[in-house]
Amino acid sequence: AMAIPKGFTAAAHWLDYASVTTTENFIMCAATAKGTSRLTNAASEPHVQEFCAFLNAMGAKVQGGSSQVVVEGVDQLGGCEFTLGDDFHEIATFLAMGAITGGEIRVRNDQPEQFPLIDRTFAKFGVEVSHENGWSSVKANGALRVREPFTSHILQKVEAAPWPYLPVDLLPIFIALGVRAEGQMMYWNKVYEGALGWTSELAKFGAHAVLCDPHRVITFGGKPLTPAVVESPYIIRVAIALFMVAASIPGRSTILNASPIQRAHPKFVENLNALGAEVEWVSAD
């Protein structure tokens, strides 16, 4: 019988797509593999960088830069104490909820250096984000309005792709802003096919959103909206985007299948009610 080697040996791989989970799994395997591993076209999202910092605190030797991560295998990892930073997904989501309802909202944010592109995307809807003393705040100066692009005869656009592009998980919250904002906006999801089919639910509020193809949608915003009962697909921030639209319309709306929100935001309803919203979980039966 052949002897099975213990543990992993180092490997080099070039990803065809910068996948977060693939990158993290590769680094985990490489951390205690024999030799030096190299991953090209590695994902570089803040949570991937944080994961590498965590492994290094445990004794791993992970180095990254220019879409490449190099991992020198060590014999073993040890324990460590690690504090997770504030999550840019949650920060941007609560800022967007403030913007769509015309509220002024402040969210704790210990990593404002991750926000220049997110801030610029908010600005496309006339929403001003500011960061100071560990807090981020949002102010919509009057009604939401799509800002004219530099090239005035083309559509203003929100393009989402792997980091350092705008994170694709945030695209739904900007679609909600586009439904409310005066003007037209195109959204381009460069990661997932068919992740924009839920725009048909927006029509139940009276919103005008046109699906161009499996990757792109255009909103024609600023239409009068009415409360509705809508159904969310199993996507965290789509359920939140539908909630955002509902929260901006006087009257009672219901978002069915909203449970994915609890996976990312266990205190979602409590936080919103603390901010002055009127929202409650309703049991399925």
Q: Tokens 């990803």 sit at which residue? A: 15
Mean pLDDT of the chain: 94
**Residue pLDDT, tens place only, 102-120:** 988 999 999 999 999 999 9
Cα(221)–Cα(181) distance, integer angstroms: 5
**Residue pLDDT, tens place only, 54-93:** 999 999 999 998 899 999 999 999 999 999 999 999 999 9
DSSP lists the bridge partners of residue 220 as 184, 208
**Residue pLDDT, tens place only, 221-279:** 999 999 999 999 999 999 999 999 999 999 999 999 999 999 999 899 999 999 888 99
Q: What is the pLDDT of residue 244?
A: 97
Cα(131)–Cα(235) distance, integer angstroms: 28
SS3 content of the chain, % helix, strand, coil (to 5): 35, 25, 45
Of the candidates 99, 187, 184, the residue with the CA atom closest to the CA atom of residue 143: 99
Report the chain's C-alpha Rg in angstroms.
21
Asked whether the predicted pLDDT for residue 142 surpasses 80, the reply is no
Segments making up each domain of the chain, as ranges: 12-72, 88-274
* pTM exceeds cut of 0.85: yes
Token reading at 11? 């490997």
**Residue pLDDT, tens place only, 25-35:** 999 999 999 99
Cα(170)–Cα(28) distance, integer angstroms: 27
Token reading at 208? 């005008």
3-class secondary-structure state, position 46:
helix
Q: What is the pLDDT of residue 103?
A: 86
Where are the alpha helices (H) located in the chain, listed in sequence order? 20-31, 46-57, 88-101, 116-123, 171-180, 199-202, 236-247, 260-264, 268-274
Of the candidates 255, 253, 175, 189, the residue with the CA atom closest to the CA atom of residue 220: 175
The matching CATH number, chosen from 3.65.10.10, 3.40.190.10, 3.90.1150.10, 2.60.40.10, for 88-274 is 3.65.10.10
3-class secondary-structure state, position 258:
coil
206 CB-side CA count, 13 A: 12
CA angle 142, 145, 122 (to 5 degrees): 90
